[in-house]
A and B are shown apart, each in its own frame.
Chain A
Amino acid sequence: MKKGKSNALLMELLIVALFFAIAAVVLVEVFAAAGNQARRADILSRAQFCVQEIAEQLYAAPDEAAALGEMGFSAEDGVWTLSLDDFTVTVTASRGDTPAGEMRRASVTASDGEGTLLSVPVSKYVSGEAAE
């Protein structure tokens, strides 16, 4: 009779422990997902700051290639690339002549292994006299 009672208690404890173990597994998964989301949000924030800074510097630069070189970008097939810790920044720049001056365009894009994080266009019109 006593042995039966003891076994029942043991079974009950095992069932409770199993239930909590399952709950723990679910919680660990939730923590991991939350951690991952926070990491992605942090990367996105840093990418946004970085892209914005580069866009501002590009806008002010008289020579995009020189400015990008100073920032540490390397060029390949007309695309400038800078690899940072968690993401890569690529810049494509072009110049188009207009009757009254020059239109300078660039696109600054941050991407990581999961795809494009964000892209910022930069456009600047330089009048004919200033462009010369």
Chain B
Amino acid sequence: MNKGKAGKSHIISGLFVFLILGIFAVFSTLLVLLGANAYRGTVDKSAYRSEERILRSFIRGAVQADDARNVIFVGSEEGRDVIRFEYDFDGEAYVKRLYCADGALRELFTSADREFVPNEGEPIIDAKQMRAEVQNGLLTVTLTDSDGEELAVHVALRAGVQP
């Protein structure tokens, strides 16, 4: 009788130990998952903002660098919106173009005589489409990313833009 009681008690304490270990394992896993999720969320968000910052800074920097010289043109070439910057080095005319082609925002710097071939541009960052327009001295560049989300960048032109 006593032996039976002792055996039962031994089984219960053994089960209790396993229960504690089980709970501990479950909570440890939950903690790891929680941490991994928090980390992934933070990294994803910061990567997205970083891309956005690169895009904004790139467009703003490119436009503002040449704004004072009044050499910025906004128009359409090869069926796509293009921001064109014209340069003159030692009497030679050069053109820098910003546009979207093959799923990327591209920059192409060539001689002004050379034909515009969109695929030749250096890809800067992923973007599906770019629209550019100027209204009352405000250049608005709208970029559509691969997820279809639109990002608008406004740059006030100090020297104006050519039609």
Query: Using a CB–CB distance below 8 Å, which chain A residues touch chain B?
Result: 2-3, 6-7, 9-10, 13-14, 17, 20-21, 24, 27-28, 31, 34-35, 38, 41-42, 45-46, 49, 52-53, 56-57, 59-62
Contact = CB atoms under 8 A, between A and B. Distances in A.
B interface SS class: helix
A45 B51 CA distance: 12
Given A6-B10, A6-B13, A60 B28 contact: no
Interface in B26-83: 27-28, 31, 34-35, 38-39, 41-42, 45-46, 49, 52-53, 56
Interface residues of B, number: 35
Residue from B20, B56, B152, B154 having most chain A Cβ neighbours under 10 A: B154
A35 B35 CA distance: 10
Contacts of A46: 49
A49 B153 CA distance: 9
Contacts of A34: 38-39, 42
Contacts of A61: 136, 138
Given A34-B38, A38-B42, A57 B156 contact: yes
A38 B28 contact: no
A31 B34 contact: yes
Interface string B148-161: 00001111110000
Given A28-B34, A57-B156, A60-B157, A13 B42 contact: no
Contact of A31 (B6, B13, B28, B35): B35
Contacts of A7: 13
